[in-house]
Amino acid sequence: MESSLELFLSQYRYLAIIIGIFFEGELILIFASILATQGEMRFEWVVTAAAFGAFAADLFAYFLGTWKVDYLLQRIPTMRKYLPRVQNFFRRFGIVSILMTKFFYGLRLPTGVFCGMTRMGIFRFLIVSLVGCTLWAILWGVMAYFFGRSISFIVEDVQKYQNMIFIGFIALIPLVLFIRRLFARA
């Protein structure tokens, strides 16, 4: 039976990737890349949709940070606490800091919010975000694609030898019961 995520991806395909990246980027990209190994989607379009979705999510987060800075600082005390540190981090490492955070789980969207809060220039943010999202989509997509291909080869081998594997498991049952009985007596 297909999972709801697989069903969502197979039904809406690339639009599902773009929308899904807003909520759970890595997971959506991994599932879509594995579907591409099975021939259900085209890999280059999976990566393109993921990069576009990540870029759109970053842009949304950036504008959320610029427009709602006071609201966010009031409602989320940890943002107020960490804003000076984040500003210092951005000043110290510059563009590299934004690129680095794309690859740390859970930091991609908050980085966009903090970039908006610190009033980073929109043109600079757009370029860095576009490059970072493209690299992120390519890296995760390629890793998941090759992982999916490896898994498919293993599944094919298991299917080829499934009767022998089944007989082996059936043969192990009396052995396991015998060992349990020995330990129960001891």
pLDDT for 6: 67
Give pLDDT, residue 22. Answer: 86
41: enclosing H helix or E strand: none
Residue 139: its pLDDT value, please?
A: 92
Report the alpha-carbon distance of residue 36 to residue 30 in Å, rounded: 10
Q: Is the pTM of this model over 0.75?
A: no
Distance CA 35, CA 38 (A): 5
pLDDT above 70: residue 3: no
**Residue labelled with tokens 């690339």:** 14
Following CA atoms 144, 145, 151, 157 in sequence, which dihedral angle do they give, to the nearest 10 degrees?
-170
Helix (H) or strand (E) holding 186: none
DSSP letter assigned to residue 44: H
Q: What band does 12 get if pLDDT is binned at 50, 70 and 90?
A: confident
Buried-state track 7-42, b at ≥16 Cβ within 10 A, e below 16: ebbeeebbebbbbbbeeebbebbbbbbbbbbeeebe
Residue 112 has pLDDT above 80, yes or no: yes
- pLDDT band, very low/low/confident/very high, at 79 (cuts 50, 70, 90): confident
Domain span at 30:
4-185
- In the structure, what pLDDT confidence band is assigned to residue 25 with cuts at 50, 70 and 90? confident
Terminal CA-CA length for the chain = 44
Number of domains in the chain: 1
- Residue 111: which pLDDT band, with cuts at 50, 70 and 90? confident
Each residue of 45-69: pLDDT tens digit? 999 999 999 999 999 999 998 888 8
Report the alpha-carbon distance of residue 86 to residue 133 in Å, rounded.
20
Q: What is the pLDDT of residues 113-154, one digit of tens each?
A: 888 888 888 998 999 999 999 999 999 899 888 887 776 666
Window from 56-65, 75-84, 153-162 with minimum mean pLDDT = 153-162
At 154 the pLDDT is 62
pLDDT at 162: 64
